[in-house]
């Protein structure tokens, strides 16, 4: 009888569990919920977020709203009155051959600059990481064009591409080729501008890819080698590129947005010529708004440009996020 009582007593007095009971867990989960719905905490959160929200509205919301109002009105610079004209400004812009040419040139420019900048940036980052010697010098050389002002670089490129005394044509003629008027030929002007854009953004993409390569754990390459990925191409396809997917997504979005916003080199080098061969969307917007003083059509182009930027960003983020492998 005594042994039985001791056994039952020891069975009833079990040690306390290190985990909370369901009732205690429910109480712990309910406690933050009550804090979150506390009106005082809600008011504090709104008060802390209000300055940032107000600043965003002043810097982005109000200008966007003003451009939208101008795009559906006949307002001109200096005028104190405006009248609603509906979508006539958009219809006039879309029917303009110059705008359609600038839109096609912008799409072509982005299609050349985006893969060129991202692809070459990745290749150069891989080459620099594979050879540790003079790594800092190579990084500085490739990143220098991104740090310099594009206006100064455009003037330097104008001198290099001069049809009579430019260094590029001097090299071509010394090799037996004929000189080319690079910036005044509608067959070469857009590829030349795209090459300058790639050269200018190459260092930025390279630095981002190098940072991504630094963050890849070495154990993944060891595991890939054990699984049979002996060659550099196998390691590149199975480890490097999948782990660089977040960096690649960021590089693609940033480079595409910068390519859409090209203006400096067009303004300095070509003025949109010859004809409309190198005219871009922002340059067309500038001419309509400030040269021809057609503020309504300029605002309509701005809204179309804003829609393209938002659509491109959302499309790229949605498409590439499916292939991103986060660590």
List, for residues 95-118, the tens digit of each pLDDT value.
Answer: 999 999 999 999 999 999 999 999
pLDDT at residue 327 greater than cutoff 60: no
* Domain-located, residue 80: no
Question: Is there a single domain that holds both residue 295 and residue 177?
Answer: yes
Tell me how many degrees the CA angle 275-73-281 measures, rounded to the nearest 5: 30
CATH code assigned at 181: 1.10.3720.10
* Domain-located, residue 247: yes
**DSSP state for residue 164 in the 8-state scheme:** T
Q: Which residues are CB-contacts of 144 (< 8 A; sequence separation ≥ 6)?
A: 203
Residue-wise pLDDT tens digits, 230-244: 788 888 888 888 889
Question: Among 71, 96, 120, which residue terminates a domain?
Answer: 71
Question: Is there a single domain that holds both residue 111 and residue 39?
Answer: no
Q: Where are the alpha helices (DSSP H) in 57-96?
A: 62-71, 88-94
Rounded Cα gap, residues 323 and 86, in angstroms = 42
pLDDT at residue 31 greater than cutoff 70: no
* Domain-located, residue 7: no
- The pLDDT of residue 99 is 93
pTM (two decimals): 0.80
Phi, psi of 23 (to 5 degrees): -65, -40
Rounded Cα gap, residues 324 and 321, in angstroms = 5
- The pLDDT of residue 89 is 92
* Domain-located, residue 242: yes
Residue-wise pLDDT tens digits, 58-71: 998 899 999 999 99
Question: Among 71, 101, 136, which residue terminates a domain?
Answer: 71
pLDDT at residue 304 greater than cutoff 50: yes
Question: Is there a single domain that holds both residue 60 and residue 112?
Answer: no
pLDDT band at 34 (very low <50, low <70, confident <90, very high): very low
First to last CA, the chain: 62
pLDDT at residue 260 greater than cutoff 50: yes
- The pLDDT of residue 226 is 82
| Tokens representing residue 177 in the block | 């080729």
| Tokens representing residue 142 in the block | 């490739």
Question: Is there a single domain that holds both residue 123 and residue 64?
Answer: no
* Domain-located, residue 226: yes
pLDDT at residue 193 greater than cutoff 80: yes
Question: Is there a single domain that holds both residue 158 and residue 235?
Answer: yes
Q: Name which of 61-70, 76-85, 184-193, 288-297 the model is least confident about.
A: 76-85
pLDDT band at 37 (very low <50, low <70, confident <90, very high): low
Structural domains in the chain (count): 2
Using alpha carbons, select from 235, 232, 221, 220 the residue that is nearest to residue 327: 220
Question: Is there a single domain that holds both residue 193 and residue 311?
Answer: yes
* Domain-located, residue 76: no
Mean pLDDT score, 252-280: 90
pLDDT band at 9 (very low <50, low <70, confident <90, very high): very low
45: domain range?
33-71
Mean pLDDT score, 135-163: 80
Question: Is there a single domain that holds both residue 67 and residue 175?
Answer: no
245-260 vs 189-214: helix crossing angle, rounded to 10: 150
Q: Which residues are CB-contacts of 138 (< 8 A; sequence separation ≥ 6)?
A: 124, 128
Please say whether the beta carbons of 58 and 265 come within 8 A: no
Question: Is there a single domain that holds both residue 60 and residue 168?
Answer: no
* Domain-located, residue 254: yes
Question: Is there a single domain that holds both residue 49 and residue 99?
Answer: no
Rounded Cα gap, residues 192 and 205, in angstroms = 20
| Tokens representing residue 202 in the block | 């190459």
* Domain-located, residue 10: no
Mean pLDDT score, 281-298: 90
Question: Is there a single domain that holds both residue 151 and residue 273?
Answer: yes
- The pLDDT of residue 65 is 92
Rounded Cα gap, residues 197 and 160, in angstroms = 15
pLDDT at residue 142 greater than cutoff 80: no
pLDDT band at 5 (very low <50, low <70, confident <90, very high): very low
Question: Is there a single domain that holds both residue 62 and residue 109?
Answer: no
Please say whether the beta carbons of 150 and 258 come within 8 A: no
Q: Which residue has the tokens 């390569």?
A: 213
Question: Is there a single domain that holds both residue 40 and residue 146?
Answer: no
Q: How far is CA 246 from CA 74, 149, 258, 317, in A?
A: 45, 28, 19, 10
pLDDT at residue 250 greater than cutoff 70: yes
Mean pLDDT score, 279-302: 91
Which residues of the chain form beta strands (DSSP E)? none
């Amino acid at each position: 009888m005594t042994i039985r009582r001791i056994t039952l007593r020891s069975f009833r007095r079990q040690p306390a569990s290190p985990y909370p009971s369901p009732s205690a867990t429910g109480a712990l989960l309910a406690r933050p919920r009550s804090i979150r719905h506390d009106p005082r905490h809600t008011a504090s959160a709104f008060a802390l977020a209000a300055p940032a929200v107000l600043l965003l509205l002043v810097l982005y919301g109000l200008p966007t709203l003003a451009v939208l109002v101008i795009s559906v009105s006949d307002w001109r610079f200096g005028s104190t009155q405006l009248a609603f004209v509906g979508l006539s400004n958009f219809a006039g812009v879309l029917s303009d051959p110059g705008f359609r040419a600038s839109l096609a040139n912008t799409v072509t420019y982005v299609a050349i600059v985006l893969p060129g900048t991202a692809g070459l940036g990745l290749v150069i980052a891989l080459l620099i990481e594979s050879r540790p010697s003079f790594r800092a010098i190579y990084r500085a050389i490739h990143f220098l064009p991104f740090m310099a002002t594009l206006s100064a670089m455009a003037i330097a490129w104008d001198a290099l591409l001069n049809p009579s005394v430019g260094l590029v044509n001097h090299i071509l003629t010394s090799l037996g080729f004929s000189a080319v008027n690079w910036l005044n030929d509608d067959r070469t002007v857009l590829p030349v501008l795209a090459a300058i854009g790639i050269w200018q953004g190459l260092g930025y993409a390279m630095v981002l890819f190098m940072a991504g390569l630094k963050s890849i754990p070495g154990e993944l390459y060891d595991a890939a080698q054990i699984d049979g990925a002996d060659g550099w191409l196998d390691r590149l396809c199975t480890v490097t590129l999948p782990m660089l997917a977040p960096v690649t997504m960021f590089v693609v979005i940033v480079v595409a947005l910068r390519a859409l916003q090209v203006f400096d080199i067009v303004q300095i080098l070509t003025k949109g010529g010859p004809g409309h061969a190198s005219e871009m969307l922002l340059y067309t917007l500038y001419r309509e708004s400030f040269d021809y003083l057609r503020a309504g059509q300029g605002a309509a182009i701005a809204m179309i440009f804003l829609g393209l930027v938002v659509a491109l960003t959302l499309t790229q983020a949605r498409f590439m996020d499916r292939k991103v492998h986060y660590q």
